[in-house]
Structure formats: structure tokens, C-alpha cells
């Protein structure tokens, strides 16, 4: 009982941090789409609690936070910024702000939030370019002080320049300050010794709970392979392979056999792969499982160095965080379906359907940068049909409301609706995708980073595959990954994939 109260109090700090960040942010990415995540860590960088925000953000922070915090000499009142994907980040637009918590001059914990910035200095508006090196994707920030002992350090903001929204950085700092105060209050009320004991007990309970539910998976060796459509630079049907070994010691996810890193930007660092693996196994656990480091102890991750999901610097990674992470979740679920056919769903739409757009300042026209992800169909399962028009697996951001989009940017939304008959058939049908059509009111640059445009989301137990997605400019099909120059009056349509069906269509598979 007391342990549950303690866990809930930590999670409440994360929730309140997120509320402050949302309400004080300037960009629609944060205040409308909720593309941010918040968490609390112990003094060594181990995860203590997190809010139910973005799985790919949180899992990668949980995997790599210890290496981040060891890079700095910490003082009370510090705020440190990092976005380097090869230091525990995801991709450059996701900027993490970290604050230490001191009690009686002793470092006892860390607060962190990660938020998506539509402009981080990438080579194309929206900072999600069709890139071949990390430097093309924007400004790389290794751990750098934004505040030192409570005082602003201006060098980083000056380096970022006026085009980058400094207000969102201020919102991240404000959210951290709130959480530092809340956690300081909790620790001083409990006493540091009791707080430390409670954390130890929470991690032990989380590990015990995880092991007990992972033990429900039959021991064995389960393999699955799926492919990425392409890397945006000419390579197609790029395999990701996993072999799950389940035993009484836990689970090992070995990605030997996965393709080498590629010239395009679908590579990802190992921290992103870890986020996808952690996410899938966390879904097998009950809702009351605490989000702490102990939960992940029974899960071991292996991936060959320099492969697609354990890429080397300076590989391009802009789409690895959003698209490859989603496919990693697919392959782990595909392997688990062989062990737990009635618990695992068919493939969901399998893409965040990324749209980045904007224009540089020109004459009287202001610069603008916009980025959004578009939902699709969820895979069906033995429990029922898949949900229509939702984000799945590695992200749970919202759409940008049409009113906000049209108020902030020279865009008009002509259509926003479910894509009829796009879900795979079966005993239970997959969810429907989404059709979202934009009209441009000014010339702009557009980057599309989308998947499942050539390889459909698979069904399970005889269920049919969902429909592949389609991207069209003025009614003409364009590639899944491309950069476009559009003119006033042009129309861009994104039709996202449907989810896979579950079970044979004309007979019960239960």
C-alpha cells in the first residue's frame, strides 16, 4: 500500500511537469500535439518514474541516462541540454533538458523532459530532411549548460539563432523547475534515507512483477523478420530480424541478421531500439506495473555494431527514431505472436507518417517550420477489431487541431477523415487509416518520411494484411520518402495504412 502511494507520488510529479510544459510552450508540436515526455531518475541515472507520454522518448532515456549524467559536473540550479542521438537521444529535433535535485548539498536525483522542436537547424524546414549524415539534420548538442547554478548561459541560445523557438526551451526549463521543487519536497518530507529505501523496494517490486509476467511466455526461441520499405537513398526492403530467447532468467532479444546501417536516415542508435523492445514487453505487464529501472532488468538486448538499429556516428537517424523504431516493435511482436498467438495483435499501420514543411523568410514573408505525425489503423487481435485512426506503439502524440494548424501556418486542411476499407479483413478487422489533405497558401518545402507504402501491415492467424499507405501531390503518387517543392494552391494528400486483420474471415479462430 505505502509502496503504491510512493510510486503514484513520483508519477504525479511527472504528470504535473508535463502539464506545465504543455501550457507554457509556444509551438503546436508541444502544446497541441503533446510531443514531449517527462521522467524522474535516481542519482545514478536509473529510471524512477515516468508519465505516460511518448514510448520512444522514455525508453531511450531509461536506457542511456546513466551515460548522460556522468558527462557533467552538476551544481544545484543547473539545466543541461542534449539532443545527440549517440548520447541517449533519439533524433536531433528531440531536445532533452535535465536538472539535478540536491538535498542538503547532496545530489539525490535528476529530472528530465524531452520535447520535439520543429526547427533545430536542419537542412530543410521542419528539420526532418532526406539526409545522409547527422550534420544535415540540424545542430548537434552534446551535454551543454543552459543554466548554471540558476543563471542563464546564453552561448547555446546564441548558437541556435533567432529562427529557433527559444520560448520552448524556456518552457522546458520551467517544467523542470516545478518538478525539482516537488521532488525536493517529497524527499525532505520522507527523509533521504527512507526515500532511498523506497526506491530500492520499488525497483525490486518492479523486477519481481516483470519476471512473473515474462514467465507466462513459454520458454523457447522465437524468430521474426520484417522489412523497411526503403532508406530514402535507393536501398529497398531492408530487413530487421529478431530472435527472442525466453527462459526462466528472462528474455534476450538478439537482432543478429539485421541489415547493416544504410546511407539514408532510417538508422537508429541502440537506445532507440531499446525503447521499442522495452515498450513491447511492458505491454505484456499489468497497468499497475511501476515505470522504474527494475522492470527492465530481466530484458537483455543484443545488436551487431554498425547495423541498422545500432548505427555508428555520424549516421543519419532522423527517420530511425520515428519509422525504424516502429518496425522494431513490429518484429518483436511478430516473434511473440509465435509464443502467444491469442495475446499479440496483428501489425498496426507501422508508420508515424511524418510530414515536415515550411519556408525560409523571404521579403515580407516570415520563416515557418511545421512537423506532424499522422495516425493510422491499429492491428486487430483475439480481443476484437483494431481501432481506427490512432497513433500506435512508439508514439501517442495527438493530431494538430485544424483550427490551430490554419491559425499558425499558411495551410488549409481540405480533408481529414477515416480511410474506408483500409483495414485488413478477418474474424476481427484491422483499424482504418486516415486521409489528411493539405492545401498550400504559400510556396513551401515539404519532406515526407513514411513507411508501409510498399510492404503492407501483416495479419495474424489467417487475417488479411492492411492496405499500404499512399502519398499524392495534386493527385499524382509520390514516394514514401521524398522532398517536394510546392506552390500556392498545390494539394498534398496523405492516406495512412490500415491495420492487419486477425483470424480467418469466415470462421471463428478462438
Q: What is the pLDDT of residues 183-195, one digit of tens each?
A: 999 999 999 999 9
- 418, 435 Cβ separation under 8 angstroms: yes
3-class state of residue 95 by DSSP: strand
Give residue 1's pLDDT band: very low, low, confident or very high (50, 70, 90). low
| Residue 60 Cα to chain centre, angstroms | 9
Give residue 68's pLDDT band: very low, low, confident or very high (50, 70, 90). confident
Give residue 507's pLDDT band: very low, low, confident or very high (50, 70, 90). low
Q: Choose between 225 and 155: higher pLDDT.
A: 225
pLDDT for residue 238 is more than 90:
yes
What percent of the residues of the chain are helix, what percent strand, and what percent coil, each to the nearest 5? 30, 25, 45
For range 78-91, the mean pLDDT? 91
pLDDT for residue 509 is more than 60:
no
Q: Give the span between the Cα atoms of 382 and 428, in whole angstroms.
A: 7
Q: Give the span between the Cα atoms of 155 and 149, in whole angstroms.
A: 15
- Per-residue pLDDT of 364-395, as tens digits, reads 788 999 999 999 999 999 999 999 999 999 99
pTM above 0.85, yes or no: yes
What's the confidence (pLDDT) of residue 62? 74
How far is the CA of 199 from the CAs of 13, 58, 112, 382, in angstroms? 15, 19, 18, 37
Q: Give the span between the Cα atoms of 306 and 321, in whole angstroms.
A: 16
Closest CA to 492 of 389, 398, 388, 356: 356
Q: Give the span between the Cα atoms of 272 and 91, in whole angstroms.
A: 9
C-alpha cell at 196: 532511498
For range 331-353, the mean pLDDT? 97
pLDDT for residue 157 is more than 90:
no
Amino acid at each position: 500500500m505505502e509502496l503504491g502511494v510512493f510510486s503514484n507520488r513520483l508519477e504525479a510529479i511527472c504528470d504535473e511537469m508535463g502539464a506545465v510544459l504543455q501550457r507554457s510552450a509556444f509551438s503546436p508540436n508541444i502544446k497541441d500535439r503533446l510531443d514531449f515526455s517527462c521522467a524522474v531518475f535516481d542519482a545514478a541515472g536509473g529510471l524512477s518514474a515516468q508519465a505516460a507520454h511518448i514510448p520512444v522518448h522514455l525508453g531511450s532515456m531509461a536506457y542511456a541516462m546513466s551515460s548522460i549524467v556522468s558527462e557533467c559536473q552538476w551544481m544545484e540550479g543547473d539545466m543541461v541540454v542534449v539532443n545527440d542521438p549517440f548520447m541517449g537521444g533519439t533524433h536531433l529535433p528531440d531536445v532533452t533538458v535535465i536538472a539535478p535535485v540536491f538535498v542538503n548539498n547532496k545530489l539525490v536525483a535528476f529530472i528530465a523532459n524531452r520535447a520535439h522542436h520543429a526547427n533545430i537547424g536542419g537542412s530543410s524546414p521542419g528539420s526532418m530532411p532526406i539526409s545522409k549524415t547527422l550534420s544535415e539534420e540540424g545542430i548537434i548538442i552534446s551535454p551543454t549548460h543552459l543554466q548554471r547554478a540558476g543563471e542563464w548561459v546564453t552561448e547555446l541560445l546564441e548558437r541556435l539563432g533567432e529562427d529557433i523557438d527559444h520560448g520552448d526551451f524556456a518552457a522546458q526549463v520551467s517544467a523542470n523547475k516545478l518538478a525539482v521543487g516537488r521532488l525536493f519536497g517529497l524527499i525532505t518530507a520522507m527523509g533521504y534515507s527512507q526515500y532511498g529505501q523506497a526506491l530500492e523496494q520499488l525497483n525490486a517490486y518492479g523486477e519481481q512483477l516483470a519476471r512473473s509476467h515474462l514467465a507466462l511466455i513459454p520458454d523457447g526461441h522465437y524468430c521474426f523478420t520484417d522489412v523497411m520499405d526503403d532508406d530514402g537513398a535507393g536501398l529497398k526492403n531492408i530487413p530487421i530480424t529478431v530472435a527472442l530467447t525466453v527462459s526462466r532468467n528472462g528474455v534476450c532479444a538478439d537482432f543478429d541478421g539485421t541489415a547493416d546501417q544504410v546511407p539514408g536516415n532510417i538508422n537508429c542508435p541502440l537506445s532507440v531500439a531499446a525503447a521499442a523492445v522495452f515498450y513491447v514487453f511492458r505491454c505484456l505487464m499489468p497497468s499497475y506495473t511501476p515505470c522504474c529501472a527494475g522492470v527492465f532488468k530481466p530484458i537483455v538486448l543484443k545488436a551487431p555494431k554498425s547495423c541498422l538499429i545500432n548505427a555508428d556516428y555520424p549516421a543519419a537517424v532522423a527517420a530511425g527514431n520515428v519509422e525504424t523504431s516502429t518496425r522494431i516493435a513490429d518484429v518483436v511482436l511478430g516473434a511473440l505472436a509465435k509464443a502467444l498467438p491469442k495475446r499479440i495483435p496483428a501489425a498496426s499501420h507501422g508508420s508515424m507518417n511524418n510530414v515536415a514543411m515550411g519556408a525560409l523568410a523571404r521579403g515580407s514573408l516570415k520563416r515557418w517550420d511545421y512537423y506532424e505525425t499522422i495516425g493510422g489503423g491499429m492491428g486487430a487481435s483475439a480481443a476484437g477489431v483494431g481501432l481506427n485512426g490512432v497513433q500506435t506503439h512508439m508514439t501517442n502524440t495527438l493530431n494538430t487541431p485544424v483550427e490551430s494548424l490554419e491559425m499558425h501556418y499558411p495551410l488549409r486542411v481540405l480533408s481529414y477523415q477515416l480511410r474506408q476499407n483500409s483495414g485488413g479483413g478477418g474474424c476481427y478487422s484491422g483499424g482504418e487509416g486516415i486521409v489528411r489533405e493539405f492545401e498550400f497558401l504559400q510556396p513551401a518545402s515539404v519532406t515526407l518520411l513514411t513507411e508501409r507504402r510498399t510492404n503492407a501491415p501483416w495479419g495474424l492467424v489467417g487475417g488479411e494484411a492492411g492496405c499500404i499507405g499512399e502519398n499524392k501531390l495534386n493527385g499524382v503518387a509520390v514516394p514514401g520518402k521524398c522532398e517536394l517543392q510546392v506552390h500556392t494552391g498545390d494539394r498534398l494528400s496523405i492516406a495512412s495504412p490500415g491495420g492487419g486483420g486477425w483470424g480467418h474471415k469466415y470462421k471463428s479462430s478462438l
